[in-house]
């Protein structure tokens, strides 16, 4: 179910990369994006493994706190 919901967002990411990256840098942009996605998945797996032995409430709180931090970071970068 999560994969189905994620596919629409991933298609949008690919479209934005294609539209907003310079033509000669496009392969580098796609390769870097793929590498970051794999790294994020590995980090998530590592965090999930530690959550299996820790208190889940702290990890949920941490995930919830990341959302406002991401929104503030986006707003700060958007202002530039």
Question: What is the DSSP annotation of 64-75?
Answer: HHHHHHHHHHHH
What is the three-class DSSP state of 54?
A: coil
pTM: 0.53
Domain of residue 26 covers 2-79
* Full DSSP string of 20-37: HS-GGGHHHHHHHHHHHH
Asked if 59 and 47 count as a contact pair (C-beta separation under 8 A), the reply is yes
Mind listing the pLDDT tens digit for each residue in 1-60? 556 666 767 777 778 888 888 889 888 988 888 898 899 999 988 888 877 777 778 878
In the chain, the number of structural domains is 1
pLDDT tens, position by position, 65-78:
989 998 999 899 88
Predicted pLDDT of residue 42: 92
CA 13/CA 32 separation, integer angstroms: 13
């Amino acid at each position: 179910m999560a994969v189905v919901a994620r596919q629409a967002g991933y298609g949008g990411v690919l479209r934005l990369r294609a539209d907003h990256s310079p033509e000669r840098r496009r392969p580098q942009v796609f390769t870097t994006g793929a590498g970051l996605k794999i790294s994020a998945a590995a980090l998530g797996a590592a965090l999930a493994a530690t959550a299996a032995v820790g208190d889940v409430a702290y990890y949920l709180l941490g995930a919830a706190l990341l959302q406002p931090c991401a929104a503030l970071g986006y707003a700060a970068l958007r202002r530039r």
